Amino acid sequence: MSPASLARPLAVLGLGAALIGSLAVGVLHLLPPTADLSPIRRTISEYAFYDTGWIFNYGVLALAAGSLAVLLALAGAGLVRPTSAGAVGVLVWCLGLAAVVYFPKHNWAVGPSPSGTIHRAASLLAFVALPLAAILIARAWRGDERWRRSALWTIALAVGALAWFGVILGAVLLEPFTGVSWWRAIPLGAVERALALAEVSVVLALGWWALTAARPIRT
């Protein structure tokens, strides 16, 4: 089968996996014992520490796999070149999510650790790489009448994700002036969850765009 013929099933697979993975992590907000964690202050990655942590891990990996399927669908539909910066950015997002699972969150109160450092770096890299990649992909199609709306929606969602990341970055940059630890200066859990939802929305926008582009032409 040609890449073009695989674009539609890959888009469907990617959208389904991304939705299932996101819902799996969302369910942890309702299931004990993670339901007792504050969604305002505690980060999502802390769910991995509990007996239901396997749900978190599989949910994140499902999102990573779905994102990779979406990337392949975009390439098959002719919306992105596999060697372009946009494609590389989406791949970095996928690898970053996998690294978040393989290198779990660390309790920084007991001091730094290689695993915790990699986890934090992978998270930051993934959260930045996806929206930037989406903007690069969409910019190339803003002038195309067929895909102008899809491109503008994708750019808007990606900018929203970067804005939420900017809240975290701002807290880090202001720490030397305020004297307040950056993770205490903002409701980190709430901001991280808003950022995660924004990132997932970018994946879904790209997946829907690929699905639309791969739709058979009616004669």
Sorted by where each begins, the domain ranges of the chain are: 3-213
Please choose, from the candidates 88, 117, 116, the residue with its C-alpha nearest in 3D space to the C-alpha of residue 104.
Answer: 116
Give pLDDT, residue 4: 75
Q: What's the predicted TM-score (pTM) here?
A: 0.94
Q: What residues in the chain have per-residue pLDDT under 70?
A: 1-2, 107-111, 216-219
Please choose, from the candidates 37, 76, 197, 68, the residue with its C-alpha nearest in 3D space to the C-alpha of residue 127.
Answer: 197
Integer angstrom CA distances of residue 103 from 92, 97, 120, 184? 16, 10, 9, 24
Helix axes 148-178, 188-213, angle to 10 degrees: 160
pLDDT per position as a tens digit, 145-181: 999 999 999 999 999 999 999 999 999 999 999 999 9
